[in-house]
Chain A
Amino acid sequence: MDHPSAGRSGKVTDSKEQVVKVVKDFHPLPAGRYLEDGPGNGTTFREKFLVPALQQHRDLLIDLDDAPGYPSSFLEEAFGGLVRLKFSPEVIRKFLRFRVTDPADERYIRRIWEHVERAAAAVH
């Protein structure tokens, strides 16, 4: 369905964009917020992939496919947590993109941006 380098946003990746498939490169069962919650927690995902990409101004394509689902708490910690670390929503939108194959999973992308905006509203 998708060109291997084309995300749902329609942008074609270039050689500088890193691709992270959550279930393969991070954990097959993403869940929890903190380190004590197990290896698939949102804090570790944020610190391992998201923060370095934003600090280095590197494009990051996050493939959400094949997970059994993403709890709101995980998404909020991983992505809303970026705002609490002082990354602006504009910077987050500039460097982070998402890819899903199943249209039903597009809901998670919407939820992620909602968490980012809500975190920004809470900070200000």
Chain B
Amino acid sequence: MLGFIAVKIAEFWFSSHVNNAGYLESERSVDVEEIKRLATEIGDIGVGLWTKNWSEDDLVDERRSVARLRDLTSAVSLLFEDHEEFKKAALLEVDRLDEAVTSGDFGTRRRKADPARVAAIMEGASSVSFCAKKCRRRMAPLWFVRRK
């Protein structure tokens, strides 16, 4: 009888840790989708801004792109917080996207349409998504996690 109870307790303990690991794995996948969504949004805003000259109407989009870049940095840092090598690689891609969108005459009245910049933005957004996906795949799968 006692043995049966002990086995049941052990079974419960083990399965709760496995379930926790499964939950964390699915959270990681959600994080990657969020990163891809943010990168796409930033890319779309950036393309919209740099396909035309500055206008007063651009202020909201400019502020939105800067805020989304910060959100993207947070999302990347969170996903890869225990994987320094992946975090570094992904943040490098975020830097490139940031540079493509917000450098030069971004935020100034002197901003002029720049087709080369538009291409760099599209490539940058795509690179962030690809890097996040690639690094996520290389992360060791969680199958058993101790509760903290």
Contact = CB atoms under 8 A, between A and B. Distances in A.
Place the interface of chain B in its size category.
20 to 34
B136 to A, nearest CB: 18
B95 interface: yes
B83 interface: no
B66 interface: yes
Contacts of A74: 107
A57 B13 CA distance: 61
Interface in A27-81: 29, 31-34, 36-37, 68-74, 76
A68 B67 contact: yes
Interface string B62-76: 110011011001100
Interface of B: 62-63, 66-67, 69-70, 73-74, 77, 91, 94-95, 98-99, 102-110
Given A37-B107, A76-B103, 4 more contacts: A69-B67, A73-B102, A73-B103, A107-B73
